Amino acid sequence: MIYLDNAATTIRKPQTVIDAVASAMCSMGNAGRGVNDASLGAARTIYEAREKLARLFHAEQPKQIAFTSNSTESLNIAVKGTLVPGDHVITTALEHNSVLRPLYELEKTGVELTILDSDRLGRINYEDFHQEIRENTKAIVCTHGSNLTGNLIDIRRVGQIAAKRGLLLIVDASQTAGVFPIDVQKMHIDILCFTGHKGLLGPQGTGGLYVRPGLAVRPFKSGGSGVQTYSKSHPAEMPTALEAGTLNGHGIAGLSAAADYLLETGIDAVRIREQELMDRFYKGVRDIPGVTVYGDFTSMERCAIVTLNIGDYDSSEVSDELLMTYGISTRSGGHCAPLMHQALGTAEQGAVRFSFSHYNTEEEVDIAIRAVRELAPEE
């Protein structure tokens, strides 16, 4: 199998990640529950993971990193834990349903929602933020990178707008964490939501969020915390405030090893390699007659994603053909990004997404190029 669906999840993980999960499953107690070697070992492992992620994201303190099971959970906590009826929030057409659906849900309760359009290349106009800010605007929620086109949003620029206007900035870093430099302080990010199983190279079922010191986020669950047992309310301090119940310690042990790998390898090296492979694929397919590539390729400083269609073929048929005939795994359909597809004009056809990992090879890319060429209708 040639796996080119790394934007869905990176299938190959460093061996150290696998070893760390296996080791944790042989030895890990419940962090913060009891004081014994096993529970303390778990607590240390999880704290170290916080430290490493805080380093990766330039957070002020490790305790500002709370663990969840994925970006969707983090985004739900961030959005539902900061907005109340009467607030206005701005988001973009680039968003995944994990941003859009919680916002639509809140809209029904009286939160006002503005969604910034994108152009046919999937780019937003940053001036639109200024134009849409109202007196009651509370937050901007936006992705760092589109899961459909791979286009980036300049978070530093959005952060400057948010900071200047006193708005919260909630960022969905699902496609960029572990690959692109993120400095929550310099980018004025108030809440950063990430998943562990994509660019961070950790296990599925891991994720989390950074919350700026001093910002209170209403948790949507309460319960066991390992501290303040006789209090009727869940502790309000980070990270415990957002971590009721036993964490996925085994997974977090893997995520911690993955963070080690990234810190040692360097995210720049990982990103440059991914982008080289993306560039090779893009240049190999863009001129094939009948192939339409979506997104903004004026710069290669983008997520390692190339999304395309071949003629008017159903994207699910093309994806199936790539799998059955060539053994190439891609993703077709809507990618949980309905507004982006509408902007690109692909709502009906869907699109076939090729997404690359630094573990992919030139040979795999060349086979994928050849496959696209062979599937394209003869003129």
Partner 1 sequence: MMRKKELKLVLTFHTTADAMAMEKACKEQNAPGRLIPVPRAISAGCGLAWCAGLDTRHILKQLMDRVGIEEQDMHECMI
Q: Which stretch binds partner 1 (CB under 8 A): 157-165, 213-221, 297-305, 324-332?
A: 324-332
Work out whether 372 is an interface residue with partner 1 (CB under 8 A).
Answer: no
Kindly give, in sequence order, each residue whose CB lies less than 8 Å from that of residue 40, ignoring residues fewer than 6 positions away.
29
Instruction: Please state the closest distance from residue 315 (CB atom) to partner 1, in A.
Output: 7
Binding partner 1 (rule: CB under 8 A), the pick from 319, 355, 357, 360 is: 319
Give the x-and-dash track for 346-365 against partner 1 (CB under 8 A): -xxxx---------------
Please count the other Cβ atoms lying within 10 Å of the Cβ belonging to residue 148: 30
Closest to partner 1 by CB, 132 vs 317, is 317
Work out whether 160 is an interface residue with partner 1 (CB under 8 A).
Answer: no
Instruction: Please state the closest distance from residue 316 (CB atom) to partner 1, in A.
Output: 3
Work out whether 241 is an interface residue with partner 1 (CB under 8 A).
Answer: no
Work out whether 375 is an interface residue with partner 1 (CB under 8 A).
Answer: yes
Q: Compute the distance between CA of residue 351 and CA of residue 369 in angstroms, rounded to an integer.
A: 16
Of 169, 187, 238, the residue nearest 208 (C-alpha): 238
Site for partner 1 in 33-92 (CB under 8 A): none
Q: Which stretch binds partner 1 (CB under 8 A): 30-38, 45-53, 275-283, 316-324?
A: 316-324
3 state SS of 66? strand
# residues near partner 1 by CB under 8 A: 24
Tell me the DSSP string of 188-235: T-SEEEEESSSTT---TT-EEEEE-TT-----S-----SS-TT-SS--
Instruction: Please state the closest distance from residue 123 (CB atom) to partner 1, in A.
Output: 23
Work out whether 150 is an interface residue with partner 1 (CB under 8 A).
Answer: no
Work out whether 132 is an interface residue with partner 1 (CB under 8 A).
Answer: no
Work out whether 345 is an interface residue with partner 1 (CB under 8 A).
Answer: no
What are phi and psi for residue 363, nearest 5 degrees?
A: -60, -45
Q: Compute the distance between CA of residue 313 and CA of residue 82 in angstroms, rounded to an integer.
A: 43
**Longest distance between any two alpha carbons in the chain, whole Å:** 75
Binding partner 1 (rule: CB under 8 A), the pick from 48, 113, 316, 367 is: 316
User: Are the CB atoms for 146 and 295 separated by under 8 Å?
Assistant: yes
Peptide bond into 239 cis (omega under 30): yes
Of 162, 166, 141, the residue nearest 74 (C-alpha): 141
Work out whether 306 is an interface residue with partner 1 (CB under 8 A).
Answer: no
Q: Which stretch binds partner 1 (CB under 8 A): 33-41, 251-259, 343-351, 359-367?
A: 343-351
**Interface with partner 1 (CB under 8 A):** 313-321, 324-325, 332-336, 347-350, 374-375, 377-378
